[in-house]
Chain A
Amino acid sequence: MKRLLKGGRVVDPANGIDGVHDVLIEDGRIARVGRDLPVDDATVLEIPSGLVVCPGLIDMHVHLREPGQEHKETVASGVASAVAGGFTAVACMPNTTPVNDNANVTLLILAKAAEAKLAHVYPIGAVSKGSKGELLADIAELKQAGCVAITDDGHPVATALLMRRALEYAGMFGMPVIEHCEDPSLKGDGVAHEGFHAASLGLRGIPGAAEALGVERGVLLSELTGSAFHVAHMSARASMRAVRNGKDVGVRVTCEVAPHHFTLTDEALGSPIPYDTNTKMNPPLREAADRDAMLAGIVDGTVDVIATDHAPHHYDEKKVEFDRAPFGIVGLETAVPLSLDRLVHSGLIRLPRLVELLSTAPARILRVPGGSLSPGSPADITILAPDLKVRIRASQLRSRSKNTPFDGWELRGGVAATIIHGRTVYVNPEMGSGVI
């Protein structure tokens, strides 16, 4: 079976392509990319001008909550949310109940993903058994079952020694260690960024230095071991400095930034809704200088990846006093509009760089298929509508949870359609019928 995507602007930074091309799909794989390809016996999909065809987006940091927290999200609802957000693949964090520290949990997640037949799911295993920070998890078993990286996300790896061992051991399998960077003693019982706004609202603070200490530790240990170290959800300017310095001297460090950290600041804690628990995440929304450092890192290349840290929570859990609410917001369905609006339309970066951040780089870091439209690759394709006017509506999200601070936001840029293995799995209803 052949499909021909005809006439869109194709952006594929891995192959240096940015221009009007056709994409031929054969048996779920990319067959050719080129100008005016012959139709032959292919089904033609005309791509309206103004739309962008790019390799499928990959979110390397999501919480799918299954097994154990299905009231927040399931693998099925999570991948439905993913494809609606333009993601053809997600990597899911191991802090489920039980923790994904063995093949049984990994295989369960993969079975649920196969059943859902939407976005690809790449499980990430735990660094330590139960993510308790004591004994290493069976990392070879996790790898064999399908895990693509390891992390104790939600918490930092307990000690420098364990982190060293994890880097050395996982390095044997070419798996990166992904770290939730944080010094627990400096974080204390903090619930918001330590700054003027937390001081004013009487919220206990978490200084940026708590994160940067964890980043510095990881960079040093990556240098010591020669293994790949990836900083999750980076938020503080001192962390950016540490990654930049590490890269300058050749350390194998990479990092990701979440859309909320390049969009919002701690001012959101008090306004427009004071103490809105949807402004509570870890790491916290930081001050303007930190937000600007995230933008600068995206522009200068220090930041490798945009990842959402999609963290669904049930409304009961968020409808409490600020300091009792869990950390985190959903992100899969708001990432593309925020990225296009805040990064591309603001003039900071161009589309090929955005595709690199959302597709090419995560595929490279996790060593998973996709990230390019090279012939032979799976036909995982996202079609972007960079000029679509998008209004975020929390109630309309496909995710089982609606915890977003962006409800009601109007943004420029969205997803037109999502194609996985050549099959269209999502069409944005806002595009009007028959357009895609």
Chain B
Amino acid sequence: MSTTSQELDQKQAVTALRRKDLLGIAELSPGEIELILDTAEAMKEVGTRPIKKVPALRGKTVVNLFFEPSTRTRTSFEIAEKRLSADTLSIAIGTSSVVKGETLADTALNLEAMSPDMIVLRHASSGACHFLSRVCRSAIINAGDGMHEHPTQALLDAFTIRERKKQLAGLKVAIVGDLLHSRVLRSNIHLLTKLGADVWVCGPPTLIPTDIRRFGVTPTSVVEEAVRDADVIMLLRIQLERMEGAYFPSLREYFRVFGMTEERLLLAKSDVMIMHPGPMNRGVEIASEVADGPYSVILDQVANGVAVRMAVLYLLAGGVEHEEAA
């Protein structure tokens, strides 16, 4: 998917997210992505102040509805919401009615009866956010749906790359790991290809989605090919249960063939960035020496997550009080 000149013209004009929801990167134009990233820069500055709070979302109610365990993403959204002065509440599965057999639609409609402005949804089913957006009037923000998308993760990844490399166009980005089951992968390939990066994806053939070339990326199972001259290497989590599905024989063998070692890192550009959306499996997809090494920006990603989520919340809420926030 290449950026057309029309889209580039559009980019100049985009100053607001004129949409109800953030369901995925697939629906966003390059201009909208740039707008979120630009806004996140202003939001990042808020986090450096002694009093880390702006009144942008004062009086707005945000519900964080998490049907899957999450530490990083939920905390990041909560901090972002609080820094924007929103009234927030978080509901995790197990404390909700879902255990009593209530449907997702009913849970959401009951919450909506109490008039929240936004619902941040994490759910194990792909498409759960699309489904909810058809049922609810509230803005839906996708915090990860099944194997489909995790748009704020891709946005914070892009923000982190842009901080170091100024722009994404022309960069070689290698994404290595469990591609098949990864929502982070899908959001990232939409975003990176929309902004003109050269995206390589790498993993065992058992973990590469069907027809992945049609996404505009280059697949390979030779990790050396993927990382050679790469500007950015993103590693994706390998889940233990994948061995039971016979996707690969053992974690040890996975590390031997695909693990990111210091040796393999030498093939990349000298200023390569190492990224991981977390949680990491040290010694499986990434060697500890690489995770803790000088090229790793893994903790920067986490820090930037708050700024990017502030930007998304703010822009979806209307973005009218921009000056006040910045």
Contacts and interface: CB of A to CB of B under 8 A. Distances in A.
B303 interface: no
A153 interface: no
A202 B149 contact: yes
Given A199-B209, A202-B145, A202-B183, A275 B127 contact: yes
Interface stretch (A38-46, A209-217, A230-238, A316-324): A316-324
Contact of B148 (A196, A201, A319): A201
13 contacts: A199-B209, A201-B127, A202-B126, A202-B145, A204-B147, A205-B210, A273-B134, A275-B126, A316-B103, A321-B104, A321-B123, A321-B131, A322-B127
Given A201-B148, A202-B183, A322 B131 contact: yes
Contact of A324 (B125, B148, B186, B209): B125
Contacts of B147: 202-204
A322 B103 contact: no
A201 B210 contact: no
B180 to A, nearest CB: 8
B210 A196 contact: yes
A248 to B, nearest CB: 31
B186 A202 contact: yes
Interface in A298-342: 316, 319-324
Contacts of A200: 26, 186, 215
B211 interface: yes
Interface string A173-216: 00000000000000000000011101111111100000000000
Contact of B212 (A199, A201, A202, A323): A199
B205 interface: no
Contacts of B240: none
Interface string B181-216: 001001000000000000000000000011110110
A316 B215 CA distance: 35
Nearest to B103: A320
Contact of B130 (A198, A274, A316): A274
A198 B211 CA distance: 10
Interface of B: 26, 103-105, 123, 125-128, 130-131, 134, 145-149, 183, 186, 209-212, 214-215
B105 A196 contact: no
Given A195-B210, A198-B210, A321-B131, 13 more contacts: A196-B210, A196-B214, A199-B211, A202-B148, A205-B210, A273-B134, A275-B131, A319-B103, A319-B105, A320-B104, A321-B125, A321-B128, A322-B131
A328 B197 CA distance: 41
Contacts of B26: 200
Given A201-B148, A320-B104, A323-B146, A196 B125 contact: no
B127 A321 contact: yes
Nearest to B185: A202
A201 B147 CA distance: 8
A321 B104 CA distance: 8
A198 B212 CA distance: 11
Contacts of A203: 126-127, 147-148
B192 to A, nearest CB: 15
A275 B105 contact: no
Contact of A320 (B105, B130, B134): B105
Contacts of B126: 201-203, 275, 322-323
A275 B130 contact: yes
Given A321-B123, A322-B125, A322-B126, A196 B149 contact: no
Nearest to B123: A321
Contacts of B186: 200, 202
Max count, chain B CB within 10 A of own CB: residue among A198, A201, A205, A323 = A201
A203 B148 CA distance: 7
Contacts of A202: 126-127, 145-149, 183, 186
Contacts of A275: 126-127, 130-131
B127 A196 contact: no
Nearest to A203: B126
Nearest to B213: A196
A275 B125 CA distance: 11
B72 to A, nearest CB: 20
A219 to B, nearest CB: 26
Contacts of A198: 210
Contacts of B104: 320-321
Contact of B127 (A194, A205, A274, A316): A274
A201 B149 CA distance: 8
Nearest to B126: A202
A199 B149 CA distance: 11
B243 to A, nearest CB: 16
Interface in A40-61: none
Contacts of B123: 321
A319 B183 CA distance: 23
Contacts of B210: 194-196, 198-199, 205
A204 B103 CA distance: 21
Contacts of A196: 210-211, 214
Interface in A353-408: none
A200, A201, A203, A322, most chain B CB atoms within 10 A: A200
B76 to A, nearest CB: 22
